[in-house]
Amino acid sequence: MGGLSPAEWEVLLLSLKVSGVAIAAVLPLAFALAWMLARWRFPGKVLLDAVVHLPLVLPPVVTGWLLLLTFGTNAPLGHFLVRTVGITFLFRWTGAALAAAVMALPLMVRAMRLSLETVDRRLESAARTLGAGPLRTFLTVTLPLATPGIMAALVLGLARSVGEFGATITFASNIPGETQTLPLAIYSALQLPGSEWQVARLAGLSVLLSVGALMLSEWLARRSGHGKGGHVL
Amino acid sequence: MSFDIAVTLHRGNSRMTYEFTTGPGLTALFGPSGAGKTSLLDAVAGLVRPVEGHIAVSGTVLFDRAEGINLKPEKRRCGYAFQDLRLFPHRTVRDNLLYGWKLVRPEERWLSVDLALDFLGIGHLLDRMPSTLSGGEAQRVAIGRALLSAPRFLLMDEPLASVDANRREEILSLIERIRDELELPILYVSHDRAEVERLAHRIIPVEPPSSQA
């Protein structure tokens, strides 16, 4: 079945760019939220937890609409971002990345929170008695022990963002070369009569991508698993 | 004076008060499980904050409620051998042993790694992961890790708890050597009368707290 056509390459690379940027940008935020939810006690924690999880339970089209309301050019925040940083989201690949990030966030927070909650805090206090301050304790004990969970979060987030459809098409629209990621391209192809072969090729591509991501995560988990082996999911 | 302790600790809805001073050597806190002995060790290590009182070791004030002094655990220079060992599962025995050693200024170290390995008989374990160690081996590594952090005093919580019956003697004589050769004040927790009578220079009985608040 030969190589990919230029159009398919474009879709694939755009998908990778959108998901990669989305996950890289949202990772620190997701970790901070996971940390707060796992370790802190503060008023409004239940509310924060609910807000973080909204994209998981809302219909994606509603999330996309809420993004429109928040980041559209006429919305205060969208307007502000255009004027200060010069970033627009509407009809741009950055918008697809934002939608993908928002949709991936709850899954990533959940996975990381879970792994942070399973880190044995008695080991952290042992590190403290051995002379390590809080930051060193975090870097040498907490973070390494939470790494498999962080890897799991990355994979889940990537899988979710590569597959993102509803919020993206609502918020960033379906523009070839700009916001048309793999699922949107498949959707568009499905609308054309006689394009079964094209649909099959794109679908195969997304299967390959998912399997590749899974294998990569297993490999990373094995490398960072400190001989404990094991699965990240 | 080695340990100078007068504290009140909150534990659940009960309060415990400890008040004693000790000379050099090994002081045993002796009492049934659940009496709160570990909580006192945690307070001396800085892991638990007393509601009242003061803690000083060898003249250094670690905690004083009235003076507003509360040294962080990493500043207390205590060698804590936990009952549950708490070896870092993601690090080799070598990295566990060197964890605290690397954090001490070289001029403050009083035990070389070679000497510690020899003393504890754990030189052959360096490349192992903690999960592969026997109870006795793991306990010796845990003690070694504490000693190599160049502590000014030792806290030992039921060091025989994780050791097989036929290895107890090995650990007991190791603790005797630490007591006799290292000149560190030691606060030692146990519920075993024979063990305490053999090791301790003095014994402080600990009763379970009455549960009035």
By a Cβ cutoff of 8 Å, what residues of chain B touch chain A? Answer: 45-47, 72-74, 76-80, 82, 84, 86, 88-91, 99-100, 103-104, 129, 131, 145-146, 149
Contacts with A117 (C-beta within 8 Å, 6 or more apart), sequence order: A38
Which tokens belong to B37?
Answer: 């002995």
* CATH homologous superfamily for the domain B3-205: P-loop containing nucleotide triphosphate hydrolases (3.40.50.300)
Q: What is the pTM of this model?
A: 0.86
Q: What is the amino acid identity at position A164?
A: E
Contacts for A203 with CB less than 8 Å, ≥ 6 apart: A186
Q: How far is CA B205 from the centre of its chain?
A: 18
pLDDT band at B211 (very low <50, low <70, confident <90, very high): low
Among B45, B88, B100, select the one facing A123 at the smallest CB separation: B88
- ipTM, two decimals, is 0.93
Q: For chain B, what are the domain ranges?
A: 3-205
Could you tell me what percent of chain A has a pLDDT over 70?
A: 94
Cα distance between residue B17 and residue B8, in whole Å: 4
User: Is the minimum CB–CB distance between A83 and chain B shorter than 8 Å?
Assistant: no
Strand B60-64, strand B153-157: pairing: unpaired
DSSP B1: -
Q: What is the CA angle B67-B70-B76, rounded to 5?
A: 130
pLDDT at B7 over 60: yes
pLDDT one-digit tens code per residue, B111-157: 999 999 999 999 999 999 999 999 999 999 999 999 999 999 999 99
Delineate the domains of chain A, giving CATH numbers in brackets.
Answer: 6-224 (1.10.3720.10)
CA neighbor of B1 nearest in space, from B16, B20, B19: B20
Sequence-ordered list of residues with C-beta below 8 angstroms from that of A231, at least 6 positions apart, any chain: A218, A221
**How high is the pLDDT of residue A226?**
47
pLDDT value of residue B209: 66
Among B82, B68, B80, residue whose Cα is nearest residue A132: B80
The amino acid that residue B7 corresponds to is V
pLDDT digits (tens, 9 = 90+) for B49-65: 999 999 999 999 999 99
Q: Using CB atoms within 10 A of its CB, is residue B188 exposed (0-12), middle (13-18) or buried (19+)?
A: buried
CB-based contact A108:A139 (threshold 8 Å): no
| Closest C-alpha among A184, A33, A156 to residue A95 | A184
Q: Which backbone phi and psi does B62 adopt, to 5 degrees?
A: -95, -35
CB contact under 8 A, B86 and A226: no
